[in-house]
Amino acid sequence: MLGVVLWSDPVEHKAVIWCEDHGDLAYFKGTAHDGASADFDSGDLVQFEILTESRLRRALNPKLVAERQFPTLLEDLAQAKPTVSAQKDRPPRGGQVVSFATALSQRMAGRLERALA
């Protein structure tokens, strides 16, 4: 997959990458021992393998494709406003919050009533 580096820390060997599929961001964490580093700058175009673990996308083996290909992407994303269609697709806000304990006790009470009927 291709992506653009939004943020990186070469000391900690970490990077956050915006993916070409416009899905969730991918996170890279290398170690000093495995030879993988995040020696990238914001705006660099990278190619990597993707692995999803516990709903988290991890970038594996990132390789630099082009330096500073999209140098203003992070600022552009920060200034972007949601589109009308994105606002319509958003689930309604608010709702009734029900505690798990209350829901469970109501469910058990319903089962008990049906069993006794």
Cα gap 31→12, rounded to integer Å? 8
In a domain, residue 97? The reply is no
In a domain, residue 55? The reply is yes
Q: E-strand spans in 14-100?
A: 14-19, 26-29, 45-53, 56-66
In a domain, residue 51? The reply is yes
pLDDT of 29-76, one tens digit each? 987 666 566 689 999 999 999 999 998 999 999 999 999 999 888 888
Three-state DSSP at 107 gives helix
Which range of residues forms the domain containing residue 42?
1-80
pLDDT of 71-115, one tens digit each? 888 888 888 877 766 656 666 666 666 666 666 667 777 776 777
Confidence of residue 26 (pLDDT cuts 50, 70, 90): very high
In a domain, residue 60? The reply is yes
Total domain count for the chain?
1
Taking the whole predicted model, whether its pTM rises above 0.85 is answered as: no
4: phi > 0 → left, psi -120 to 50 → alpha, else beta; which? beta
In a domain, residue 117? The reply is no
Helix (H) / strand (E) element for 89: namely helix 84-89
In a domain, residue 3? The reply is yes
In a domain, residue 53? The reply is yes
In a domain, residue 63? The reply is yes
CATH code (residue 18)? 2.40.50.140
Three-state DSSP at 109 gives helix
